[in-house]
Chains A and B, each alone.
Chain A
Amino acid sequence: MASLTAPAGAAPASSAAASRNGTHTVQEVESITIRFCGDSGDGMQLAGTRFTDTAAILGNDIATFPDFPAEIRAPAGTLAGVSGFQVHFSSNDIHTPGDVLDALVVMNPAALKTNLRDLKKGGILIVNTDAFAQNDLDKAKYKSNPLEDGSLAGYHVVRVAVSKLNKEAVRECGLSPREQDRCKNFFALGLVYWLYERPLEATIKWLKDKFGKKPDHKPVLDANTAALKAGYNYGETVELLPVQYKVAKAKIPPGQYRKITGNEAIAIGLVAASHAANKQLVYSGYPITPASSVLEDLSQPEMRRHGVKTLQAEDEIAAIGVALGASFGGAIGVTGTSGPGICLKSEAINLAVMTELPLVILDVQRGGPSTGLPTKTEQADLLQAMFGRNGESPVAILAPQSPVDCFDITYEAVKIATRFMCPVFVLSDGYIANGSEPWKIPDVAKLPKIEIIHATKPNADSANGAVHEHGEGEGGGAGKFLPYKRDEYLSRPWAIPGTPGLEHRIGGIEKQDVTGNINYEPANHEHMVHTRWKKIENIALTIPDLDVIGDGDADLLVIGWGGTYGSITTAVDRVRKSGKKVAQAHLRYLNPMPKNTEAVLKRFKKILVPELNSGQLCWLLRAKYLAPAEGYNKVQGRPFLVSEIETAIANML
């Protein structure tokens, strides 16, 4: 998705007035942002997902943002239990789920109270009036009924008795009253489909695929289909609004597309990389939000066909131990978690650093410290990944910038881990893990190759077979295997147990270089500390340079990393469209950074670093390059709004 055009949620681009029945119009708009929200039991995630799929199939560009509470079912109707799903769909190239809402669907007062602030003035507010009894208002801590006290005057309020109308529609389908009520998300979805002139076919097909196979699911299939149609027809019949909105297809590069979330892309990326490397993938994790779905995806029966082995470990430490053991055994060992899990894995990460084995460590970051905000996003584990272990402990760190980029970054992580025999962090975050966007399905033949060469025979020659300069002890002599004899990148050989003649021992105690024997010599230790750093720095020789986009001759560079890419890119684009000069760079490689990073930073008078933390990349850039970097920071468990970054940029110009 290369270029940007108009701001998200823009005003009507044209007002093509294809009148439906003479009394109302259809307006064509560029982008729409809509949020479905209700109680966490109201099925809002599902309604949002279905709406997104329909938009994608119709050819819109899409970006989504699910926002749900940590509690699985907080008491019904309370503020803590509100679950929302936001969809941004557009006829243009978009990078974020949208700042402000054009339309908001609320299924109860709690949803209204917690989400109204994001609806634009004059925006459409669809309210389920059946959920506004005194009891409901009390649970949401409303002193007066907002539907009656005039507090919604600035919005276009659409009152619909969703619960009652839905029950009428599904009454004949053979469900219990409770089950009937659970179809109301599809009634609301139908209503919104009408509002945006969306066909129902894709959703009906989905329902058939899901519930059409077993006869005892028939009532569920019938009822949801009926609710969906009833919602649509209700909108049409009562002419709910004088205007329907239409969003045309986006100009998207031709190809086959699917929708993908960051975590899905990680799972697929790992398996694709294991194919490219012709290796078995062993993934071990312990359930933790928001990383669990990677373990879930990889343990699916379909993944077994790819030879994927998974183990749900007894704890975070076991999970990384299993992954590291698998790497020792010649597989691609991967573990995944979130920040609290990284804390527990620290010691084992250092074992991988010391034994110089390949290992991919996925950290889907969430709000911290401690348990923090399990379902909310944050970028606050960068310095933990960089430094959070005992001793000097260099690891490679990569960060995907979007849901789609999770595929490429994960694939790259496997490549680096196996080429450089080192642990590689993938720092994703809750925002891109759960968010989705269209993914152009890659051409398998064009995926990068991953070539792995295992040691198969002894590597000692007479020159290094004797005593090594950095320590005493036996070297071995020609015909021996030297597990720490390094190649041009300082990477050591990967000899798999089972290979005759290469028997060797590794471990966490300091090693003599070349021989791998235990060694406590002062000079050898210093040499090994430096060698481990140098090896990680050598990765920079194989990664792409940092690109500068926007105005190369600007005074200001905006530089970010990870999941903030979409917001920063959109903000920079808007500022440039307003006639001001600004440049942008985004780091996908955090350690080592691309080799031209310093040169890029030196070209600009001012550097702005927006981050969802208190300034961690900013700290690194200042420390490494003495760059005059200034942070723009937000630590609220929420992604940046584009407007927030626009303001931060404006303040620097």
Chain B
Amino acid sequence: MSATALPTLSVKELTTDQEVRWCPGCGDYSILAQMKKALANVGVPREKMVFVSGIGCSSRFPYYMNTYGFHTIHGRAPTVATGLRLANPDLQIWVVTGDGDGLSIGGNHLLHVLRRNIDLKILLFNNEIYGLTKGQYSPTSRTGTPSKTSKTGSLETPIRPLTIAIASEATFVARTVDVDVKHLTETLQKAAAHKGAAFVEIYQNCKIFNDEVWAYATDKSVKADNLLYVEHGKPMVFGKDRNKGIRLNGLKPEVVEIGKDCGLDDVLVHDETTEDPTLATLLSRMVGPKFPEVVGVFRSFRKPCYEELLDKQIADITAKKGKGVVADLFKAEDVWTVE
């Protein structure tokens, strides 16, 4: 990307006059701030950015971005964003959703928007709770989570958002953390640069109804041991002393101590470009405390988007047979003339 000719924006230019109404201490504030920083330098003018959301705390996001925005209905943002993309190939479209909006009521749409590879950047703010409805368990809540509708603990197995995204053939899959501002900004910029359906899970803290649920991933004293930052082409090394790694034992990953259990050469090396979903799926299923949880880009590759293929069909037949005119529509197998 050449930096000179492209427009840059200030954070102020991206800020609306609307009062931000999230609770004090909400992780969404950090995401909003990093989003503005990230977008200031992606080279896209403000009028070509659109934020589309569903319902929930995260879905208020469009009101705070001085771009085009559409606050739709519960779970349906991917569908509206798909239509917008079909109508206009020239926009950068962000979909902002949450664990309830995106994986429960809108779960079906998420599968299909990803497999169609519609060029959208989908951000799932995962706080493992329903916030706007004041504290019911969500499809990502861990088994046993006490909440207003699971006083004695949730009975359900949680969804792993990234496993779903990979199984749905998403061409860009990443995870980041609300308060890791540098990583968050970089991840948003990578998503912005991706052509195709990009899916980013953001660990996001709900101060009021599920506080500290991500403490193991944000507390400076422990996070180095609990998170594995993956980078393309680099070995999967983590830990406060950078001495732990992930090794494959048959089809199972295992945590090893480098220098004791094995050498650095035995540690898995990350490949985000492969279309094969095996490695990314394996990483998406690593859950603490047994494993470090993976942050970074799980996979990123180019594949034609639905709208590109559709445009190509239109271009091909138009090149071959010419642009349709109204009179063509009225033709039929049999046309007869009455004198």
Contacts and interface: CB of A to CB of B under 8 A. Distances in A.
Nearest to A357: B70
Contacts of A500: 45-47
B313 interface: yes
A259 B108 contact: no
Interface residues of B, number: 64
B318 A305 contact: yes
A442 B327 CA distance: 9
A268 B87 contact: no
Counting chain A CB atoms within 10 Å of each CB, which of B66, B80, B85, B324 scores highest? Answer: B80
A621 interface: no
Nearest to A351: B73
A333 B334 CA distance: 31
Nearest to A251: B338
Contacts of B330: 258, 268, 441-442
A328 B73 contact: no
A309 B69 contact: no
A59 interface: yes
Contacts of B36: none
B66 to A, nearest CB: 6
A324 interface: yes
Contacts of A509: 71
B185 to A, nearest CB: 22
B1 interface: no
B50 A321 contact: no
A641 B25 CA distance: 70
A372 to B, nearest CB: 24
Nearest to A260: B332
B338 A282 contact: no
A503 B336 contact: no
Contact of B337 (A256, A323, A324): A256
A284 B86 CA distance: 11
A322 B91 CA distance: 16
A59 B338 contact: yes
B83 A326 contact: yes
Interface in B87-104: 87-88, 90-91
Interface stretch (A119-127, A179-187, A211-219, A311-319): A311-319
B173 to A, nearest CB: 20
Interface stretch (A69-77, A107-115, A491-499, A551-559): A491-499
B17 interface: yes
Nearest to A507: B71
Nearest to A313: B79
Contact of A257 (B86, B322, B337): B337
A258 B16 contact: no
Given A282-B86, A301-B317, A518-B18, A321 B79 contact: yes
A202 B81 contact: no
27 contacts: A53-B333, A206-B333, A252-B338, A256-B338, A259-B332, A260-B332, A272-B329, A275-B325, A282-B86, A302-B328, A304-B318, A305-B322, A307-B323, A309-B87, A318-B109, A318-B112, A321-B83, A324-B72, A326-B84, A328-B84, A331-B86, A444-B327, A499-B47, A500-B47, A503-B47, A505-B16, A507-B70
Counting from the closest, the 3 A-B pairs by CB-CB distance are A325-B83, A321-B79, A507-B71
Interface of B: 16-18, 45-48, 50-52, 62-63, 66-74, 76, 78-88, 90-91, 108-109, 111-112, 306, 310, 313-314, 317-318, 321-339
Given A314-B111, A497-B84, 14 more contacts: A254-B339, A256-B338, A271-B324, A272-B326, A276-B326, A307-B323, A311-B83, A318-B108, A321-B109, A325-B87, A326-B83, A328-B87, A329-B91, A508-B72
